[in-house]
Amino acid sequence: MHRTVELDMTPKTARLLIYCPDSKGIIAAVAGFLAEHHGNILEADQHTDPHNGEFFMRVEVELDGFVLNRATFDDAWSKVANSYNMRWHVYWGNETKRMAVLASKEGHCLNDLLWRWKTGELDVDISFVASNHEGLKEYVDVVGLPFYHLPVVATNKQAQEQQLLSLMDECQVEFLVLARYMQILSPDFVAKYPERIINIHHSFLPAFAGPKPYHHAFERGVKIIGATSHYVTDQLDQGPIIAQSTLPVDHRDTVDDLVRKGRDLERVVLANAVRLHVEDKILVSQNKTIVFD
């Protein structure tokens, strides 16, 4: 397998994400803790939701010189976290996230992700690609990744999902990307990866659901088309939205034009959502996302 990766001169970092009830002194407490442990803050962002009384924060700390690590951070941090009733997560940037990709027949989103991974633009390890059809195997073989054909029929849905879960466990996959995967995952499957399954939807949600959204849009004479990427929940296409985009269209556009433009949007929106997840720039609260980008 050959992957072209440009030399990255940026420092390795730890990313601390915080979600808690809003109160005075949180920022000072976080900054003070990091300074006490020789953490150089490279980036910090925060958001307060006055309606719900919630506070969100993302802090990126240079690992060089930081005296805490994966083994010692939790105990040291717990006093601050408990005093503000924080939910928190820390990602150690010297470790690369592992993802898997599911696709069906359409390859535009899959090929875009593979290209971004192969060129080093997307800093992840892709453990494997799986599909309920065999048509995309050649594209995956070209980049040297494992491809698994996991067909779905009415009688084997549960067994197919179990195969997929076994593969993910074996490869220690941390999150899953649905690159136009045209199967609905069961609630039991989704529950095993909360806020770790990313989907791309072929419209500016919630409009024009169904198998032929661009045809419906054409019939309505829409002036914009869109794409939406979101986390998967057990409520179909109702998960927290990560990224969206639109393009203007007009009466000159045919159905084929809408499909072509829509596919371009889907590629970019899905890739952006995956990047945001990989870079730990998303916090979720009450089925909404706070995106620090």
**Between vectors from CA 287 to CA 286 and to CA 288, what angle results, nearest 5°?**
90
Q: Among all residues, which ones are annotated catalytic?
A: 237
- Across the strands, what pairs with 88? 18
Nearest residue to 103 via CA among 94, 90, 112: 112
Which DSSP state fits 185? P
Are the C-beta atoms of 113 and 270 separated by less than 8 Å? Answer: yes
Residue 94: what are its φ and ψ, rounded to 5°? -90, 10
Counting every residue, how long is the chain?
Answer: 293
Which long-range contacts link 29-32 to residues 24+ away (Cβ below 8 Å)? 29/80, 29/83, 29/84, 30/57, 30/59, 30/80
The answer for residues whose C-beta is within 8 angstroms of residue 261's C-beta and 6 or more apart is 225, 247, 249, 253
